[in-house]
Amino acid sequence: MLSVDSLQYKVRKYDVTKCGKLVTNLDDRMFLFNDSNIVMYGDCSFYKSYFGQLRAICESGTWKTIGNCIEYSKPLEVQGVRLVNGSNPAEGRVEMKVFDTWGTVCSDDFGMKEAEVICRLMGYVHAKSVAVKGSYGIGSGPIFIDDLNCEDDASHINDCEYTTYHNCSHEHYVSVICTDCDNVEIHEGRILTYPVMKTVNASLTFSCNEGFALSGADTITCELSGKWSSSPPEYSKKCMNSSLFEFIPY
């Protein structure tokens, strides 16, 4: 971890603020002034395998520093995986959440085996295809993984080989399209489950519109085969409930 406590400061005659020039054991190029020239921001991703932000604030003639640069390395503790900028949740740019921060995966050496692992992590049945070089837009944040290389039996990225010290640019993020269970269409009824998910073990529950009766299962589940556990229910017009009529003897 690169701590801001390790930063050192000194004043010179040509300094641009009343606090003097910020002198640090880190590379000066990672620090930028804001418009007011009283705050300097350091982007930790200037160093590969680090993320975070440092702030140096000029207060009463002295620099006050806040923040830490956090180093990440294999094995990563993945808190979440998502696909972004796609037309549906099963496609898009791959992003992973590590240390409560969303970052990206580099496309170097990324193929269908690696896509299968990503899709499995998200609960999808299989990977359908791989797209590279900004197909779903340019991401932001740390590049957590480069040179990902998985075998057929891998179920998690930590079962694979990869490096966190990347040589990737922001234009080379990887995107995947995963296979899920088919879309469900119903008539004279509605899906009660929200949001509608089509990943493995996801369930959909149905009900019918007023005046219609449901025929078939009212709940179906997406199975490992990529098929729903049964067909969506059908709906038919029903007679009025007999309880609405009262028999009155003569």
- Mean pLDDT per block of 10 residues along the chain (250 residues) reads 40 45 58 60 76 78 78 90 88 91 87 92 87 75 89 91 83 85 81 79 84 83 81 68 44
Separation CA 24–CA 21 (nearest Å): 10
Contact between 139 and 94 (Cβ < 8 Å): no
* CB count in 10 Å sphere of residue 222: 24
Residue 167 CA: distances (Å) to CA of 101, 143, 147, 170 = 20, 9, 9, 10
Separation CA 54–CA 42 (nearest Å): 5
Q: How much is the pLDDT for 31? A: 62
Per-residue b or e along 5-36, where b marks 16 or more CB atoms closer than 10 Å to that residue's CB: eebeeeeeeeeebebbbbebebeeebbeeeee
Separation CA 102–CA 78 (nearest Å): 10
Q: How much is the pLDDT for 6? A: 41
Q: How much is the pLDDT for 18? A: 66
pTM flag (> 0.75): no
Instruction: Indicate the burial class of 136 (C-beta count within 10 angstroms; 0-12, 13-18, 19 or more).
Output: buried
Q: How much is the pLDDT for 83? A: 92
Per-residue b or e along 165-193, where b marks 16 or more CB atoms closer than 10 Å to that residue's CB: ebebeeebbbbbbbebbeeeebeebeeee
Which helix H or strand E contains 246, and what residues bound it?
none
Smallest Cα–Cα separation from 127: which of 115, 114, 143?
115
Kindly state the DSSP code that residue 115 receives in the 8-state scheme.
Answer: H
Instruction: Indicate the burial class of 199 (C-beta count within 10 angstroms; 0-12, 13-18, 19 or more).
Output: middle
Q: How much is the pLDDT for 241? A: 45
Q: How much is the pLDDT for 198? A: 79
Q: How much is the pLDDT for 23? A: 53
